[in-house]
Amino acid sequence: MQRLMGRPWFRRRSVGFGWRPVSWQGWAVSAAALALAVGVIALMRGSPERIPLVILILAAYAVVALLTGARRAEAASEALVEEAPAHVETRMAPASTARRPRPATSQPPALVVERLTKRFGERVAVDDLSFSVAAGEVFGFLGPNGAGKTTTVRMLATLIAPTSGSAVVAGIPLAPENGIEIRERIAVMPENPGLYLRLTVAENLEFFAGLFGLRRSEEPIARALAAVNLTGRANDLCGSLSKGLRQRVGLARALLSDPAIVFLDEPTSGLDPAMTEEVLQALVTHVASEEMTVFFSSHQIAEVEQIADRVAIIDRGRTVVAGSLDDLRASFRRIQLVFDGDAREAAFRAPGIVRVRRAGRVLTLLSNAGAESILAEARALNPVSADVTPVTLKDIFLETVEGRS
Query: pLDDT tens digits for 297-356?
Result: 988 888 888 888 899 999 988 888 888 888 888 888 888 888 876 656 555 666 677 777
Which backbone phi and psi does 192 adopt, to 5 degrees?
Answer: -105, 115
How high is the pLDDT of residue 88?
A: 36
Q: What is the value of pTM for the model shown? A: 0.69
Is the pLDDT at 184 greater than 80, yes or no?
Answer: yes
Query: pLDDT tens digits for 373-396?
Result: 677 777 777 788 888 888 888 888
The domain locations on the chain are 10-70, 95-321, 332-402
How high is the pLDDT of residue 84?
A: 39
Is the pLDDT at 296 greater than 50, yes or no?
Answer: yes
pLDDT band at 54 (very low <50, low <70, confident <90, very high): confident
Half-sphere exposure of 4 (CA within 13 A, CB side): 7
Count of beta carbons in the 10 Å neighbourhood of residue 5: 13
Options 3.30.70, 2.40.160, 3.40.1360, 3.30.160; CATH for 332-402 is 3.30.70
Is the pLDDT at 97 greater than 60, yes or no?
Answer: no
Q: Please state at what angle helix 273-287 crosses helix 218-227, rounded to 10 degrees.
A: 130
How high is the pLDDT of residue 205?
A: 93
Residue 81: strand, helix, or coil: helix
3-state SS record for 311-378: EEEEECCEEEEEEEHHHHHHHCEEEEEECCCCCCHHHHCCCCEEEEEEECCEEEEEECCCCHHHHHHH
Query: pLDDT tens digits for 11-20?
Result: 665 444 566 7
Is the pLDDT at 399 greater than 50, yes or no?
Answer: yes
Query: pLDDT tens digits for 221-232?
Result: 998 898 888 889
Q: Where are the alpha helices (DSSP H) in 216-259?
A: 218-227, 243-255
Geometric angle at alpha carbon 143, from 138 and 146, rounded to 5°: 130
Amino acid in position 286: H
CATH class of the domain at 95-321:
alpha beta
Distance CA 304, CA 284 (A): 12
How high is the pLDDT of residue 329?
A: 82
